[in-house]
Amino acid sequence: MSTESPKSFHIKNYGCQMNVYDGERMAEMFAARGMEASDKADADLVILNTCHIREKAAEKVYSEIGRLRRKDGSSPLIAVAGCVAQAEGGEISRRASEVDIVVGPQAYHKLPDMVDAVTRGESSVDLDLPGLDKFDTLPRRRKTGPTAFLTVQEGCDKFCTYCVVPYTRGAEISRPFADLVDEARALVDAGAREITLLGQNVNAWEADGQDLGTLIRALDRIDGLRRIRYTTSHPNDMTDGLIAAHAEVEKLMPYLHLPVQAGNDRILKAMNRSHSRDSYLRIIEKVRAARPDIALSGDFIVGFPGETDAEFEDTLSILREAAFAQSFSFKYSPRPGTPAATMDGQIAPEVADERLQRLQAQINAQQLAFNQATVGKRTSVLLEKQGRFDGQLIGRSPWLQSVHILGEGLSIGDIVDVDIVEAGPLSLKGELLMQVAA
């Protein structure tokens, strides 16, 4: 059965910033075909750009598919993209016959062709992991806000025992140096003032004999680009060159997301993290020597199989010892096909819940303390959006804190100097000095 070619599209993103980037690139492809972005309820084509990292991801996708059915019983064209698509594959269309397209994270550049195939009455599944092909066929970047994402690296070879990423995103692969400088320039021409380099293991980026530190130094030379960030890093790939960039490149913001996951060596080993508590602490010592004011952020997993109370205490103590400014914490969630899912000693949910609560209480306390320590400081803020009140704007400090400002005649994208006058757990209040060159 053939259908009419869709004229409008809606992309629903789940999960990480890499999915946000992929979603933007998909939107650009459809816009280049003359299709309009629209609300989920009205779109002819709905793309669910899914995440598989934790809990019941697939179940959420199936229930969302059910909700896409319209009142008259019809459905839009439905594409399932992202990591659930990669992990579940053809199973998705078998379980949910409404799904027309299943496309993995490395094949989404073929979406327009796949949509054409569906309109001709063919079903379409593409779960190739072909590496970098997609970047060559995506349209040039033309639209962005003041902050933009740029995927430089994809995939993961680390095989932490709890994690699905190496299976859904494939092996570590780096985009070529020149392509990245080119895309960064296009983003700046389109209005970006800050670029966040993205990769599952962004600091493993390596191409044409260069490492991430060199790429950052090259981007530093782009006029009009004011801030550079990168995420997510693996401790083992924190090279001396990258650490030195934190000391030398002014545009590189003093913020590092460096997941540690746990504070106990036996657990780190069972997780196959390939760093120890001490080696992690030594790395951040070097980073702090290069950039003393750096804000460190982490990811933590509680309730990994076999984790004892005492081992969990080591997680609480590394959180304090490393003085994390911000952290993301998760209850261990068994992922089908990963080694940890079948390990002995799976932890009872009540125990994991209790550990998570204790961890989060300490994370929040540290975050508040970090924010309070910025009160009285003078700093720059990149304005990203309007606030809830008249004349209020919200931006980010160099340390990625959200800062609320009142001011006349300011625009999104301005970088302003403020005095931080108040701090809460989630945001700061800034008072405007004079405007820095916009």
Q: Alpha-carbon distance 10 to 358, whole Å?
A: 39
Direct distance between the N- and C-terminal alpha carbons of the chain, in angstroms, rounded to an integer = 55
Number of residues that bind ligand 5AD (CB under 6 A): 12
Q: Alpha-carbon distance 289 to 276, whole Å?
A: 20
By the rule CB under 6 A, 234 interacts with ligand 5AD: no
Closest CA to 135 of 156, 115, 152, 112: 152
418 binding partner (options ligand SF4, ligand 5AD, none; Cβ < 5 to 8 Å by kind): none
Which of 259, 305, 395, 430 touches ligand 5AD by CB under 6 A?
259
Closest CA to 216 of 262, 150, 279, 274: 150
The one segment of 160-168, 174-182, 184-192, 396-404 that binds ligand SF4 by CB under 6 A? 160-168
Strands 45-50 and 8-13: parallel
Contact 118, 101 (CB under 8 A): yes
Encoded tokens for 340: 């940890």
Q: Work out how close the CB of 234 gets to ligand SF4 at its nearest, in angstroms, rounded to a whole number.
A: 5
Q: Alpha-carbon distance 188 to 223, whole Å?
A: 8
Q: What is the DSSP letter of 339?
A: G
Residue 225 or 363 having the CB closest to ligand 5AD: 363
Closest CA to 213 of 193, 233, 183: 233
Residue 160 or 381 having the CB closest to ligand SF4: 160
Encoded tokens for 252: 């590189």
Which of 156, 238, 319, 352 touches ligand SF4 by CB under 6 A?
156
Which of 110, 158, 257, 335 touches ligand SF4 by CB under 6 A?
158
Which of 36, 299, 321, 419 touches ligand 5AD by CB under 6 A?
299
Strands 295-302 and 326-331: parallel
Residue 334 DSSP SS3? coil
Q: Alpha-carbon distance 66 to 78, whole Å?
A: 11
Which of 12, 54, 60, 288 touches ligand 5AD by CB under 6 A?
54
By the rule CB under 6 A, 260 interacts with ligand SF4: no
Which of 200, 203, 233, 371 touches ligand SF4 by CB under 6 A?
200
By the rule CB under 6 A, 261 interacts with ligand 5AD: yes
Return the amino acid letter for 114: M
Residue 344: partners with Cβ closer than 8 Å, 6 or more residues away: 305, 306
By the rule CB under 6 A, 301 interacts with ligand 5AD: yes
158 binding partner (options ligand 5AD, ligand SF4, none; Cβ < 5 to 8 Å by kind): ligand SF4
Per CB under 6 A, which of residues 395..424 are in contact with ligand SF4? none
Residue 398: partners with Cβ closer than 8 Å, 6 or more residues away: 227, 253, 254, 255, 379, 380
195 binding partner (options ligand SF4, ligand 5AD, none; Cβ < 5 to 8 Å by kind): none
Site string for ligand 5AD, 312-351 (x = CB under 6 A): ------------------x-xx-x----------------
By the rule CB under 6 A, 159 interacts with ligand SF4: yes
By the rule CB under 6 A, 245 interacts with ligand 5AD: no
By the rule CB under 6 A, 101 interacts with ligand SF4: no
Cis peptide before 232 (omega within 30 of 0): yes
By the rule CB under 6 A, 189 interacts with ligand 5AD: no
By the rule CB under 6 A, 87 interacts with ligand SF4: no
Encoded tokens for 99: 């799904």
Chain residues binding ligand SF4 by CB under 6 A are 156, 158-160, 163, 165-166, 200-201, 234
Chain residues binding ligand 5AD by CB under 6 A are 53-54, 162-163, 259, 261, 299, 301, 330, 332-333, 335
